Structure 1
Amino acid sequence: MIDAQIVVIAKEPVAGRVKTRLTPPFTPGQAARLAAAALEDTLLAVTEAPVRYRVLALEGLPGSWLPAGVEVIPQRGAGLDERIAYAITDAHRLHPVPTVLIGMDTPQVTSALLCSAADALADHDAVYGPAADGGFWLLGLVRPDMSVVAGVPMSRPDTGDVLLWRLRNSGLRVAVLPELLDVDTAADAARVAAGSPHSRLAASLAAMPGLAETSAVR
């Protein structure tokens, strides 16, 4: 058992409020179903990781997709940067152990990769997972520090670089994980589903007649 916690920061998968960049070609309802599948895949990987605590920082209400053993805390803060910073801080206040935070955008994540992130915090101050779009898919800290994340510009090609610079400029020893692809667009969904054919995301995408083909990478 790794003495750490994994925090998933996510939105309740409600049509029109999640994965809006998937529309078109998907309808808001279809985008919400893909978001729910991605969230379930993510939470499954988290529950399979042998860490001491599992927490969901949620905007909205939990549903039948929430597995047993995952505590729910509400999100707070204005922009995404503050929400991430508060999620880490609030989870650490709940359980004062090293904290690894991920989103619901990388459903291809595995429990083994999450374990490597948690393990890295035994001899590093932080762990960072870069995303292919220039953002980041994971951030882990031994001790929360609002100043590291708050104010980082989100959803930009340099978001990850700015965060990594802040981590290192703060004197933290940073472990860097492999790059993963976020599911933001239809093409992203097709790529991730192709690489994780047994995932709920892949099954959900395949159940949408015609759309699996139109969203495929050309």
Structure 2
Amino acid sequence: MSDALRPPPTTVVVFAKAPLPGFAKTRLIPALGAEGAAALAARLLRFAVTEALAAQLGAVEVWAAPDGQHPAFAELAQRGGITLRAQGEGDLGERMARAFAFHADRSTAAQAPPVLLIGTDAPGLDRHYLRQAAAALAGHDAVFGPALDGGYTLVGLRRPAPQLFDAMTWSTSAVMAETRLRLQRLGLRHAELPPLTDIDEPADLERLPPGWLTGLPPD
């Protein structure tokens, strides 16, 4: 990527569950079985980290749940280019707010770079999408990648805004709508990218790119 097209330096945080059977992608178990759902979760994790590195925006961190002990996380760390951290306790909003606050607290004389936080559920969230998000943050306080189910797949902030995550009812179709209201109340200017599909429910599997289900353990 040429310097003229490179977005400002941006940290990319990948939130990921350990791809354990019965722990990751549990809503896909009726379609794929526990082993198959976990195997797909591992593929989604590898894809998200590969694209985060390929975006060449800055530091890439994988924040793992419940911790970073699973072999999938060790494999990623051995590849190099990422820092592995634990998400810690609390609901999703508390953990997300903690990640943004962590980077703000680490800044010293130099201003901390903006942070993009993504999950591992959206195979459409590739390096190009990440670069668009980073570029949008150059002129906005926040950027979001809405999901077609009413949530969002990406959130980027120039500085922490824990009010966006506090006491949110997650995994509902109202998450993005409620977030827009909170952004307005906080006086934050935000940008939205084109919506993407989250792979959460069996019906979502039809939206996976070709080949993603090949070779998964049988149900």
- Structure 1 position 5 matched with structure 2 position 16: no
- Structure 1 position 84 matched with structure 2 position 96: yes
Unpaired segments ≥5 residues, structure 1? 212-218
- Structure 1 position 154 matched with structure 2 position 165: no
Alpha-carbon distance, 1:94 to partner: 4.1
Q: What is residue 63 of structure 1 aligned with on the other side?
A: 74
1:99-114 alignment runs, 5 A limit: 99-114=115-130
Q: Is this contact kept in 2: 1:4–1:99, CA < 8 A?
A: yes
Unpaired segments ≥5 residues, structure 2? 1-5
The count of residues paired between Structure 1 and Structure 2 equals 203
TM-score with structure 2 length normalisation? 0.86
**Distance across 2 between alignment mates of 1:63 and 1:55:** 13
Which consecutive aligned stretches of 4+ in structure 1 deviate over 3 angstroms post-superposition?
91-95, 208-211
Distance 1:53 1:72, change over 3 A: same
Percent of residue pairs bearing the same amino acid type: 34
Distance 1:128 1:144, change over 3 A: same
Q: Is this contact kept in 2: 1:97–1:142, CA < 8 A?
A: yes
Which residue of 11, 28, 36 corresponds with 1:22? 28
Q: What is residue 59 of structure 2 aligned with on the other side?
A: 53
Q: What is residue 136 of structure 1 aligned with on the other side?
A: 152
Q: Is this contact kept in 1: 2:36–2:217, CA < 8 A?
A: no
**Distance across 2 between alignment mates of 1:88 and 1:105:** 20
Q: Is this contact kept in 2: 1:39–1:107, CA < 8 A?
A: no
